[in-house]
């Protein structure tokens, strides 16, 4: 039995990098602006931090985040804004000696014919071919690998700030209450969005301002955000929920009882 330890682009931490022989040196999100009929290049800088040679695999997948479903990586989504038909890499497999650095070069060729404005994207997967950890659990051999998901985004045409809609808001009660928010990008361009919650008591006094970490929301897709409510005193509150895409603010009112 083999298990794959998947390291999402927004959850990479130093602990995984210490185990993995291969590390990514120049970030896990690469954004380009381009026009129809142009060609652009980018690079992913890798290093083998291990003590021996390491073989890596490089392949492409579409990132799909449909509303109401879990984020998924698929080989071919058929999406109109997938980079799959324009994106190529210089290698699919490479072996690096101990301490060696290497640049994976990717090329995006945008056709000259009419291309709709908007954000086009795909994920470049960089995976260690050999397991970074082998162990036996209840008599079953388990191998773990590290896989980096590097988001490649190309904005075609003049960028327009996307409209953000509140798809779902839910209060999670219990020992550590939280507010779960699902946002949908109704525009043509991707954006990193923060969710901000302002709480007011029954007398109209401001109790607290809370916010989530920023997360990328792709056009026509959703992403989920969590705001920790732990430490807020019990009671009834009026709330203002704000989605901030870096350019515009989108607000909604809500009532909370903790």
Q: Taking all residues of the chain, what is their mean pLDDT, rounded to a whole number?
A: 86
Cβ-proximal residues to 216 (8 Å cutoff; 6+ apart), any chain: 29, 151, 190, 191, 192, 193, 223
CATH 2.60.40.10 fits 5-156, yes or no: yes
Task: List the one residue out of 218, 245, 192 whose CA is nearest residue 120.
Answer: 218
Task: Give the whole-angstrom CA distance, residue 118 versus residue 162.
Answer: 10
Mean pLDDT computed over 78-101: 93
- Selected residue with higher pLDDT from 194 and 136: 194
Sequential DSSP letters for 203-247: TS-EEEEEEPPPEEE-BT-EEEEEEE-TTPPSSEEEEEEEEE-SS
Q: Is 222 helix (H, G, I), strand (E, B) or coil?
A: strand
Residue 131 binned pLDDT confidence (cut-offs 50, 70, 90)? low
Task: Give the whole-angstrom CA distance, residue 77 versus residue 63.
Answer: 8
Euclidean distance between the first and the last CA atom of the chain, given in angstroms as a whole number: 45
Mean pLDDT computed over 4-33: 62
Which of the given ranges, 17-31, 139-153, 218-232, has the highest pLDDT on average? 218-232
Residue 14 binned pLDDT confidence (cut-offs 50, 70, 90)? very low
CATH of the structural domain 164-257, one choice from 2.60.40.10, 1.10.10.10, 3.10.20.30, 1.10.287.3510: 2.60.40.10
Mean pLDDT computed over 42-69: 93
Residue 195 has pLDDT above 90, yes or no: yes
Task: Please tell me the predicted confidence (pLDDT) of residue 235.
Answer: 86
User: Do the first three CATH levels of 5-156 and 164-257 match, i.e. the same topology?
Assistant: yes
Q: Where are the domains of the chain?
A: 5-156, 164-257
Indicate the length of the chain as a whole number.
258
Task: Please tell me the predicted confidence (pLDDT) of residue 132.
Answer: 54
Cβ-proximal residues to 70 (8 Å cutoff; 6+ apart), any chain: none
Task: Give the whole-angstrom CA distance, residue 4 versus residue 149.
Answer: 13
Q: Would you give the DSSP letter of residue 219?
A: B
Task: Please tell me the predicted confidence (pLDDT) of residue 2.
Answer: 33
Mean pLDDT computed over 29-51: 94
**pLDDT tens digit string along 138-169?**
665 555 677 899 999 999 998 899 999 999 99
Cβ-proximal residues to 57 (8 Å cutoff; 6+ apart), any chain: 92, 93, 125, 126, 127, 128, 129
Which token pair is 197? 């919650």
Task: Give the whole-angstrom CA distance, residue 258 versus residue 243.
Answer: 22
pTM for the full predicted model: 0.83
């Amino acid at each position: 039995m083999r298990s794959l330890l998947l390291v999402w682009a927004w959850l990479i931490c130093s602990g995984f990098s210490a185990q993995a022989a291969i590390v990514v040196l120049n970030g896990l999100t690469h954004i380009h602006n381009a026009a129809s009929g142009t060609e652009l290049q980018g690079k992913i800088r890798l290093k083998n931090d291990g003590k021996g040679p390491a073989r890596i695999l490089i392949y492409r997948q579409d990132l799909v985040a449909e509303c109401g479903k879990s984020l998924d990586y698929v080989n071919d989504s058929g999406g109109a804004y997938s980079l799959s038909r324009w994106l190529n890499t210089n290698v699919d497999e490479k072996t690096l000696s101990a301490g060696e650095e290497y640049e994976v070069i990717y090329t995006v060729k945008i056709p000259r014919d009419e291309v709709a404005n908007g954000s086009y994207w795909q994920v470049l997967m960089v995976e260690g071919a050999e397991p970074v950890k082998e162990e036996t659990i209840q008599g079953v051999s388990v191998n773990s690998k590290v896989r980096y998901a590097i988001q490649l985004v190309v904005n075609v045409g003049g960028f327009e700030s996307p409209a953000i809609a509140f798809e779902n808001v839910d209060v999670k009660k219990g020992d550590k209450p939280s507010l779960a928010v699902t946002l949908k990008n109704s525009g043509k361009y991707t954006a990193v969005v923060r969710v901000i919650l302002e709480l007011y008591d029954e007398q109209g006094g401001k109790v607290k301002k809370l916010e989530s970490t920023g997360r990328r929301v792709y056009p026509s897709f959703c992403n989920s955000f969590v705001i920790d409510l732990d430490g807020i005193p019990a009671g009834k509150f009026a709330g203002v929920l704000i989605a901030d895409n870096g350019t515009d603010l989108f607000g909604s009112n809500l009532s909370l009882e903790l």
